[in-house]
Structure 1
Amino acid sequence: MLKKITVEQATTGMFVHQFCGSWVDHPFWSRQLLIANGSVLRKIRDSGIRELIIDLERGVGVDKPEEIASPLPVPDPIPVITDSPAEVQESLQPNPIADNSSCSVAQELDRAQELVARGKRDVIRMFADVRMGKVIEGEGLQLLVSDMSESLKRNAHALLGLVRIKRRDEYTYMHSVAVAALMLALARSYGCDEHTIRVAGMAGLLHDLGKVAMPDHILNKPGKLTDAEFDVMRGHPAAGASLLTALAGMPAEVIDACLHHHEKMDGSGYPGKLSGEHISLMARMAAICDVYDAITSNRPYHLGGDPASSLSRMASWKGHFDTSLFHIFVRTLGIYPIGSLVRLASDRLAIVIEQNPASLLKPRLRVFYSATKRQWLSPETLDLAIDDCDDGIVGREDPVAWGLSGLDRLWAGSVAVG
């Protein structure tokens, strides 16, 4: 039996069937968990959630709570990984790549900016060489991947934030650089060894190589593709894999990621309609990183989405991604990735400028806009993690709906990408 209670009625031993509110209002990855101890209970009471739905058959109850016949809808779903309290607690551990940062985002920005510009030049040259039938210069690409990996070690979010900023006319090249950075970060968060991390970066850099074989009028079309044109574009994974197979020493994992990065866990992807564990780990990682960068980037026919809203959209696509890998990907970027527009309890708008490794829900922000007066404010930095902070995030906002543009300058400062 399901019953609704207030957070004040909650006690240890109860089994939470559902939190009554958005997933961003509480610090738990699963919407179902056992209140196993006082620590979990305190987290619930300190969150933005005011009511819970408990399952009386899986935990203790209280006197006279309101009975309900069925669970309420949950807005903005995040993947449910497990109902196990132990694993839920494990999911709350600090973000591994952020927790090991040796410098701040601001300190790493200049070096990351140089890497992004260098990466774009290298990818442009690589595509040109392939079009002219030349052999890819692998040594330079390996050095680029290695240097990107080192930047991510120092502070992952500087590079990950910068690679999202693209001009519409450079998407094809910058997309490869961005997916390489995302793959490196995801592989490190997943716990891969250094060799595998660099293989993942190379897979990201080369995953779309087959686009060199696509007709320019389709590849650069400023509008939506027709069904016939999309059928042609579906050939780019096989074309890329064929090019990579011809290169001596190319890791099999890189070729596989190139061929299968458009597969889906439910078998509805292409080209092989593979499903579940039949899709390699590297290809499953590439699928997540490829889509995230695609939907957050400005392209000739598409305005990039807000990072946090894009993660929420991806979470709702059932059967598309490996759930556990996507969970790690969100932890890697943060629930509110750098550059996300958020609304505060004080009715101000702010942009996320840095992650807090101890709490995904309490990043550092730059507050710049009054939502009630609809006017710009003098920008100020706000750290939600400090003890005396009396403000907090109440939700994500769409910059387009507010008529706001160029917000990346609020965290990237005067750094110019490209």
Structure 2
Amino acid sequence: MLKKIPIHQVQLGMYLQSMEGSWLSHPFWKTKFVLRDPADLEALLTSGVPMVWIDVSKGSDVQDQAVPDTLVQDLVDAPSPASASTPPAEAAPAATVAPGPARVERVSMGSEMGRAAQVVNRSRQAVTALFGEARMGKAIDPEMCLPLVEEVADSVSRNPSALISLARLKTKDDYTYMHSVAVCALMVSLSRQLGLDDTQTREAGLAGLLHDIGKMMMPLDVLNKPGQLTEAEFDIMRSHPMRGYMMLKEGGAVPEAALDVCLHHHEKMDGTGYPQKLKGEQISLLARMGAVCDVYDAITSTRPYKAAWDPAGSIQRMAQWTGQFDPVVFKAFVKSVGIYPVGSLVKLESGRLAVVIDLNPQNLAAPMVRVFYSTKSKLPIPVQMLDLANPANSDRVVGRESPQDWGFTHLDDIWRKT
């Protein structure tokens, strides 16, 4: 017999049949199971899911006394099962999703855009010079990279979307360099979402910055080829993690965590990745994080051989790639960049189209948007900014739209306006 109950009444021993709300707010990548693990209960209670359906013929029923509020609060405040002191380079289990401590007060997207643009420009110059020296065989000095990582981390602390979104707007010519900056920023943001400490977050950022250094050892005609690679060319490109690892290892000063991410960011949870076909917990936490960040920036960027996918569509596609990513790490990643990342085209219940211009961290399904088009009249309308999380607002997102389907090529100009 099925019964619909509010989230605060869920207890261990219940058989979960289904959960209400957006699928991305669900804390599990499975349904229809008996809730036995206290960590799973904690994840469910803190997920924002409002109601669940339970099958009382297969598990416990609601007890007369509801779960006390104090117990719920204790579960919310409980430490993550994966200790924050676990060295990132070890094969640690993925951390429970929990927001990390903010280093500085969060500001709006508009307030951070100017500073983020300056960081992006300095980063482009620094990484281009750094990678140029690596191509000439010079050793990488991580001490020279840390000020750049700190600048990126500070911008991410103020507003993650600003720098991450700007770094996504790379050209075909500077893709390799700006991809490294973008992955650095994504790794920092994800580290904070997973609750890693400042030292681990700094190492994650450095690892993101250096993860593709092996591409400096690839032939330029293969690296920058405008068309699809042949199988032989793919074999050459698949050697870049090992080549990068050896390059950094020979320098002797790069942390083990960065070496590990460089070598293993193309491994997959199901063991089908490369270069070593590691599987599951054989892959370190930071390498699992690197895998998600690397792919997201790659598919949302224009490449020599393909156009960029839109941010929200990329998240949706990545969620369907069973076996590639650590589910908990991926869920944390979605929480860090948003269900509808900045730059996403969304359709509102009113029939209007809008571009996401900032996130509401407390409600990822209700971002800040700029409305600019009516699907009813098929005509542009006066641009209007809406905070969809504001109770006074009566509109809401009903789904993402493909910019290509509508022929929109100017969305970046809309969300970048401050």
The two structures share one fold, judged by TM-score above 0.5: yes
CA distance in 1: counterparts of 2:195 and 2:102, whole angstroms: 14
Counterpart of 1:18 in structure 2 is 18
Counterpart of 1:193 in structure 2 is 197
Q: Is 1:288 the counterpart of 2:292 in the alignment?
A: yes
Structure 2 counterpart of 1:255, one-letter code: L
Instruction: Give the conservation status (yes or no) of the 8 Å contact 1:348–1:371.
Output: yes
Check 1:348–1:93 CA distance in 2 against 1; reply closer, same or farther (3 A cut): farther
Counterpart of 2:259 in structure 1 is 255
Aligned equivalent of 1:271, options 270, 275, 280: 275
Instruction: Give the conservation status (yes or no) of the 8 Å contact 1:339–1:411.
Output: yes
Counterpart of 1:335 in structure 2 is 339
Aligned equivalent of 1:231, options 226, 235, 238: 235
Counterpart of 1:55 in structure 2 is 55
Deviation of 1:21 (Å):
8.3
RMSD of aligned Cα (Å): 3.1
Instruction: Give the conservation status (yes or no) of the 8 Å contact 2:315–2:334.
Output: yes
Q: Is 1:158 the counterpart of 2:162 in the alignment?
A: yes
CA distance in 1: counterparts of 2:234 and 2:359, whole angstroms: 38
1:370-409, Cα deviation, whole Å (9 max, x unpaired): 1222221111001111112111010111111111112122
CA distance in 1: counterparts of 2:7 and 2:163, whole angstroms: 42
1:150 alignment partner, SS class: helix
CA distance in 1: counterparts of 2:121 and 2:104, whole angstroms: 25
Deviation of 1:137 (Å):
4.7
Counterpart of 2:123 in structure 1 is 119
CA distance in 2: counterparts of 1:8 and 1:132, whole angstroms: 63
Q: Is 1:409 the counterpart of 2:413 in the alignment?
A: yes
Structure 2 counterpart of 1:396, one-letter code: R
Deviation of 1:58 (Å):
3.2
Counterpart of 1:362 in structure 2 is 366
CA distance in 2: counterparts of 1:9 and 1:163, whole angstroms: 41
Deviation of 1:10 (Å):
11
Counterpart of 1:385 in structure 2 is 389
Instruction: Give the conservation status (yes or no) of the 8 Å contact 1:93–1:358.
Output: no
CA distance in 2: counterparts of 1:127 and 1:323, whole angstroms: 32
Counterpart of 1:207 in structure 2 is 211
Q: Is 1:173 the counterpart of 2:174 in the alignment?
A: no
Deviation of 1:169 (Å):
2.3
CA distance in 2: counterparts of 1:43 and 1:140, whole angstroms: 45
Identical aligned residues as a percent: 46
Counterpart of 2:90 in structure 1 is none
Deviation of 1:222 (Å):
0.5
Deviation of 1:136 (Å):
3.2
CA distance in 2: counterparts of 1:312 and 1:18, whole angstroms: 20
Check 1:99–1:354 CA distance in 2 against 1; reply closer, same or farther (3 A cut): farther
1:307-349, Cα deviation, whole Å (9 max, x unpaired): 1111111111111111111111111111111111111100111
Instruction: Give the conservation status (yes or no) of the 8 Å contact 1:28–1:92.
Output: no
CA distance in 2: counterparts of 1:114 and 1:271, whole angstroms: 36
CA distance in 1: counterparts of 2:115 and 2:169, whole angstroms: 16
Structure 2 counterpart of 1:58, one-letter code: G
Counterpart of 1:107 in structure 2 is 111
CA distance in 2: counterparts of 1:312 and 1:359, whole angstroms: 18
CA distance in 2: counterparts of 1:93 and 1:259, whole angstroms: 25
Gaps in structure 2 of 5+ consecutive residues = 36-40, 63-74, 81-94
2:369 alignment partner, SS class: strand
Instruction: Give the conservation status (yes or no) of the 8 Å contact 2:141–2:254.
Output: no
Q: Is 1:312 the counterpart of 2:312 in the alignment?
A: no
Counterpart of 2:245 in structure 1 is 241
Count of aligned positions: 374
Deviation of 1:358 (Å):
1.5
Counterpart of 1:73 in structure 2 is none
CA distance in 2: counterparts of 1:249 and 1:140, whole angstroms: 11
CA distance in 1: counterparts of 2:124 and 2:200, whole angstroms: 23
Deviation of 1:266 (Å):
0.8
CA distance in 1: counterparts of 2:174 and 2:372, whole angstroms: 29
2:122 alignment partner, SS class: helix
1:246 alignment partner, SS class: helix
CA distance in 1: counterparts of 2:215 and 2:247, whole angstroms: 11
CA distance in 1: counterparts of 2:372 and 2:100, whole angstroms: 30
1:244 alignment partner, SS class: helix
Q: Is 1:219 the counterpart of 2:220 in the alignment?
A: no
CA distance in 1: counterparts of 2:263 and 2:288, whole angstroms: 11
